[in-house]
Chain A
Amino acid sequence: MNTGQLISGLAHVGLISVAIFGGAFRAEPLPFQVTEVTAISAEDYAALVAPPEPDALATIATPEAPDAGSADVPTPTQDAAPSSGQPALSDIAPPEEVTEPLIDPQPPQPPEDVAVLVPEAAPDPAPDSVPEPAPRVAPEPVAQPEPDVEIDDVDRQASEADATAETPAPDEPETAREAAASRIVTEAERAEAAAPSQSIRPKPRPAAQPEAEPEPQETQTAEASETSSETGSVDAALTEALGGATEPAAGQDSRAAQGPPLTAGEKDGLRVAVQECWNVGALSSDALSTTVVVAVSMQEDGRPVTNSIEMIDATGGTVASARQAFEAARRAIIRCGARGFDLPVEKYASWRDIEMTFNPERMRIK
């Protein structure tokens, strides 16, 4: 054997070793953010940045010059506590039903024989004439418009009647959550609006391609049948398999390994659903330095078992701050899980028990 073969052989052995065992030493992937962008054509970009037509400019009244002094003066209404500005729950009227107006099949015809006054060309304004600035605020206070949707904890589309359904679903109005922030902007950080005032509408996303999922139920049943054949009792195996699907507490360790795992998208959906209710606004700075791991058992309809929620680990804070952080996490799970998380029931075995790590590092005061 020559030296070349020896080196080649050792290199192959090393390469195979890295390929097999490399995963054991793999570091956690660095966090990254994905930003969705939309490609626009050169014509669209030119239309976006092009200055408005001169005619349009002529119709815009010159705004009143801001008073340098008054710009610094805060008004008490701007600094009022958020509670005063929140719509009262009792004041939120349900969205009114909008009846579609009947479309006239005939387009409206212009009235005939109607004299149209054509204004003469406007004389040139005098050099010293200054157009009167348009008022920037309405002279009369305007009542706050009614919300388009009912305020609730979760976003929900209005239910529609399904004629084919066996049991009609109750009418549920469209709801949306109150505006919340994930970033704190101080008075000193507020800047003049520098963002472009117009942009083209981004193109819609392409329709999601449905993933080809295996038939989990059949797989579970088949595996259960194989197990039961070894014991020689098909009925007992069927009973066990069926019972396992409806009794979450029994034999979960053995069955948990049988269900197909959740896809990354399904995990992300659960994560997003929980974080929408994870309100850290009232937490102390110590609690915002505490990461807690919370265990929760789930029912098959996607709702958490409230009594099963427990803190199994806490790092980075005191006992008191861990309790505050856990209570906020528990509220998030219960509130957003009240109507059931959107999880695939055929994969129930894989999400029957969940451990959620609530890490507030990005939510701390910076």
Chain B
Amino acid sequence: MTNVILSLLTVLMIFSAPVLAAQEQGERDGPLRIEITEGVIEPLPYAVPDLVAETELAVEHASNIARVIAADLSGTGLFREIPREAHISRVTSFASPVQFADWRAVNAQALITGGVSVDDSGNLVVRFRLFDVFAGQEMGQGLQLVGTTTSWRRIAHKMADQVYSRLTGEAPYFDSRVVFVSETGPKDARQKRIGVMDYDGAGVSYLTDASSIVLAPRFSPGGDRVLYTSYASGFPKIYVLDVASAARQELQTQAGTMSFAPRFAPDGRTIVYSLATGGNTDLYSLEIATGQSRRLTSAPSIETAPSFSPDGSQIVFESDRSGSPQLYIMPATGGEAQRISFGQGRYGTPVWSPRGDLIAFTKQSKGRFHIGVMRTNGQEERLLTASFLDEGPTWAPNGRVIMFTRETQGETGEASLYSVDITGRNLKKVPTQTGASDPSWSPLLN
């Protein structure tokens, strides 16, 4: 038996030698392998020198367009502009080769160059390129945009959109608009109008006058119409308004009832809204063309603030059926609702992300208001803001940024629009000429 054991040991030694040798050789042969799991989170430095004015009429646009691009990119908080005073190289021709060493010296990791001209028909022609400075190569192909000279801001936004998408991989959102409620006057006699502006607060125009109180404007999926609630008749009623002509039409709901909190379905033909009758508030859907209405909920509680999922199959809404306002999801045709919010506090104004992955909401907890996001199953809740009063989130077209209303405390308190990245970073105020509330972000413009 001893011989058997010794034989087994010998066999094991013989077979183990190549295995051990192979393991050691495997570690020594081939490339060195390391794993990087920790990085840094900081704005990516970029440079955007003034565009090259190729005609005399384009001189004034050369700098303006570059400034709008810089404001768009730096405004995301993801990028940091290298100031023009630090530039070593001067771009004098759109076709001239890039001196990458000069841009590396000022730590510009991305470089945007462009040229602008006005053609014989009076159109503005803008070309641009994007470079990865440290790799020393162009990112994607150059692009040319043509538009009227009055639309130079939109051209600049579109250029910034291209740069943003190529650098981050996210869908763009700069070339978009926001409809909101403009507020003027003291708190006890506030005048409200519906205004529409570029996402960055520029180009404001008003769609209604201040003769009656207006609430909750909501863009259509195409961005050409706006739903809103007006007290023009004494009762809250829902109107649909054409953005181009400012013509409005009242949507027929049950007589003697109050209808409010409307929102378009993704197909643009149906809306969902709240209707209060007999002391009870439920959700209804309405086909705009036919006026056919359908009741979606029938609970003795308040159901309001509905919002469709991007595919139109589900609706998230707010209900106090459990005793306090919470968030629920149900099929778009009505049916059993499933509660998704279980945290401490009161939840409201849910809005489904255009990506379909998150739901933004307002939360009131411990005397403070928050804007937060959660997964569609209610998990991974994250609060992004905290203040005296934050409410009414709306998503940017790419689902990366949220705009909302923040109201300050006191007699002189005023409502303003703020935006925040879904990471919770880059909280900033949106510049508006007046007080502003209840924003609704349009889809990306065509």
Contact = CB atoms under 8 A, between A and B. Distances in A.
A359 B36 contact: yes
Interface in B103-118: 104, 106-107, 109
- B4, B19, B20, B424 — which one has the most chain A CB atoms within 10 A of its CB? B424
A74 interface: yes
Contact of A257 (B9, B25, B41, B81): B25
Contact of B80 (A86, A256, A334, A352): A86
Contacts, number: 247
Contacts of B383: 186, 188-189
B41 A357 contact: no
B127 interface: no
Contacts of B132: 327, 331
Interface in B1-45: 1-2, 4-5, 8-9, 12, 16, 19-20, 23, 25, 27-44
Nearest to A19: B16
Interface string A269-291: 01100111111111111110000
Contact of A359 (B19, B32, B35): B35
B311 interface: no
A184 B33 contact: no
Contacts of A358: 36, 39
A72 B388 contact: yes
B122 interface: no
Contacts of B406: 74
Contact of A72 (B16, B33, B409, B426): B409
A331 B368 CA distance: 42
Contact of A350 (B2, B8, B32, B380): B32
Interface in A174-231: 178-190
A83 interface: yes
A261 B31 CA distance: 11
A241 interface: no
A162 interface: no
Given A1-B2, A278-B36, A350-B28, A320 B409 contact: no
A73 to B, nearest CB: 5
A205 B427 CA distance: 40
A344 interface: no
Interface in B163-204: 167-170
A88 B35 CA distance: 34
A64 to B, nearest CB: 18
Given A81-B75, A324-B168, A279 B427 contact: no
B41 A186 contact: no
Contact of B43 (A1, A83, A89, A183): A83
Contacts of A271: 34-36
A321 interface: yes
Given A6-B1, A184-B424, A283 B168 contact: yes
Interface in A327-366: 327, 329-332, 334-335, 338, 350-363, 365-366
Contacts of A13: 5, 8-9, 12
A278 B77 CA distance: 17
Interface in A12-71: 12-13, 16-17, 20-21, 23-24, 69
B136 interface: yes
B44 to A, nearest CB: 4
Contacts of A262: 32
- Please give me the 9 A-B residue pairs with the lowest Cβ-Cβ distance, nearest first: A186-B424, A188-B383, A278-B39, A284-B169, A1-B1, A353-B31, A9-B5, A72-B388, A180-B42
Interface of A: 1, 5-6, 9-10, 12-13, 16-17, 20-21, 23-24, 69, 72-74, 76, 79-83, 86, 88-90, 152-153, 178-190, 253, 256-257, 261-262, 267, 270-271, 274-287, 295, 306, 320-321, 323-324, 327, 329-332, 334-335, 338, 350-363, 365-366
Given A74-B429, A187-B424, A279-B40, 14 more contacts: A13-B12, A72-B368, A80-B428, A82-B426, A183-B41, A186-B384, A187-B387, A189-B424, A278-B39, A282-B167, A283-B169, A286-B169, A354-B33, A362-B38
10 contacts: A74-B406, A76-B428, A81-B426, A182-B39, A261-B28, A331-B109, A354-B31, A355-B32, A355-B34, A359-B35
